[in-house]
Amino acid sequence: MERIIFHVDVNSAYLSWNAVWDLQHGSSLDLRTIPAIVGGDPESRHGIVLAKSSPSKKYGIKTGETLFSALMKCPDLKIVPPRYSMYLKASDAMVEILREYSPVIERYSIDECFMDMCHIRKEDAVSVATGLKDRILKELGFTVNVGISTGKLLAKMASDLQKPNKVHTLYKEEMAQKMWPLPIEDLFMVGPRTAEKLRKMNIHTIGQLANTDPSFLHERFKKYGHMISCYARGIESSTVKNEGTVEMKGMGNSTTLPFDFTDRISCHNVLLSIGETLVPRLRRAGKKAKTLSVHIRYSDFTSISMQNTLPFSSDSTSLLMEEACALFDDMWNGEPVRHLGISFAQLEDRFREQLSLFPDHKSEKMKKMDQVMDLIRKNFGEEALIRATFLHSPVRAFSGGVVEKDYIFMNSHL
């Protein structure tokens, strides 16, 4: 029996959510109706476009470009800062509604969900999706696109067809008409690099890709070639993965520094501050890490990474950060540093203790200290406790993660 899958995609998510929040808190201006973007702070070198309103699209503004460049295209552009914790609440509020329609929902990202809708009839799909879309608009104040098909890939391609506030179907029999004329880079998993290579091979549309010999694509692009060949022909059969059923493979945190750092100690402090949010997150996820990697981006934008697999796995902030600093010292060439990151891989369950013949009193103590610090911060706030090394340092004691504090619960009615 054929499946029915919905893909729900919030239109200009960050910008819409900012707009709705502002309206609900007394603003008379709807950001969605003017050239506006959500953007980072150029002062701290986070100045890129994160989301844009549709009027700003008319100026040719693209997600990911610099605010400087966006302002050149539209000097009157309204720029608002991101509010990540509010986005999480908005996303949760939407998922709560989706759950009334299906027990199997996969949160693909903060603003996209797949829904297994196999319990409805194909001929009812469009009206159910339309009802869902309209309800989200009425109750939460923002628009979504809903894509409908028999699989996740085509549902996702469908939700991308025409925006905003639309329901589209993209069944196999509609591919030739709706999907194949599209440019190659519109296909899921074909990014700018691959699109360029394909164009050089005279493949410009998804239809042309679908008609290219799969074995040729496999030869040229290996496994990846086989995959995009299947995608172009609508072949894909993965299931909708309910929340909590997907195992976390890795976890990381990184940050662009407000200016280039040229001394080792400041870089170490940044790594420590990343660890102060990252390792507690690891512990909250019930994991410990066996592999740790450090990433450096230099001021010329070249970047390097190095990883180290420990003989055991750990969730101790002090131990892991000691490793991170040691790795940094190994790999740093002394050039100015623009960006630093740490990530963990080979995660294991936290409570699967590896017994040691000789109890290590130092690590026992460090583990207890981590627990106490987690507890104090949970009860008294993140900044109730900071490492002494940050007292006289320009580096903030915490970096990455969610920093929004002034959130007021999102009103579900306008």
Partner DNA sequence: TCTGGGGTCCTAGGACCC
Distance CA 154, CA 174 (A): 10
CA-based nearest residue to 52, from 33, 25, 68: 33
Provide, rounded to whole angstroms, the least separation between the CB of residue 221 and DNA. 8
- 364 catalytic? Reply is no
| Helix (H) / strand (E) containing 220 | helix 214-232
Instruction: Report the residue number, 71 or 97, with the smaller CB distance to DNA.
Output: 71
Q: Is the previous residue joined to 81 through a cis bond, with omega within 30 degrees of 0?
A: no
> How far from the centroid of its chain's Cα atoms is residue 365's Cα?
35
Provide, rounded to whole angstroms, the least separation between the CB of residue 344 and DNA. 8
Instruction: Report the residue number, 212 or 293, with the smaller CB distance to DNA.
Output: 293
Instruction: Report the residue number, 122 or 290, with the smaller CB distance to DNA.
Output: 290
Provide, rounded to whole angstroms, the least separation between the CB of residue 405 and DNA. 17
Catalytic residue among 112, 174, 219, 383: 112
Distance CA 150, CA 235 (A): 10
Distance CA 351, CA 367 (A): 12
Positions that interact with DNA (CB under 7 A) = 40, 42, 45-48, 50, 63-64, 66-68, 71, 108-109, 111-112, 156, 188-195, 222-224, 248-256, 281, 291, 293, 300-301, 303-309, 339, 341, 343, 346, 400-401
Instruction: Report the residue number, 188 or 390, with the smaller CB distance to DNA.
Output: 188
Instruction: Report the residue number, 24 or 308, with the smaller CB distance to DNA.
Output: 308
Provide, rounded to whole angstroms, the least separation between the CB of residue 250 and DNA. 3
Work out the widest C-alpha separation in the chain, in whole angstroms: 69
Strand locations in 88-218 (E): 105-109, 112-116, 144-149, 167-169
DSSP 8-class letter at 310: E
Judge contact between 385 and 374, C-beta under 8 A: no
Residue 263 assigned as binding residue: no
Q: What separation in angstroms does the CA of 30 have from each of 26, 55, 136, 405?
A: 11, 12, 18, 23
Question: What are the φ/ψ torsions at residue 55 (nearest 5 degrees)?
Answer: -60, -30
Residue 111 assigned as binding residue: yes
| Helix (H) / strand (E) containing 312 | strand 303-314
CA-based nearest residue to 13, from 105, 100, 91, 113: 91
Q: Which residues pair with 115 in a beta bridge?
A: 6, 105
Instruction: Report the residue number, 121 or 223, with the smaller CB distance to DNA.
Output: 223
Provide, rounded to whole angstroms, the least separation between the CB of residue 204 and DNA. 15
Provide, rounded to whole angstroms, the least separation between the CB of residue 69 and DNA. 8
Q: Which residues are annotated as a binding site?
A: 9, 111
Catalytic residues: 112
Q: Which residues are annotated as a binding site for Mg(2+)?
A: 9, 111
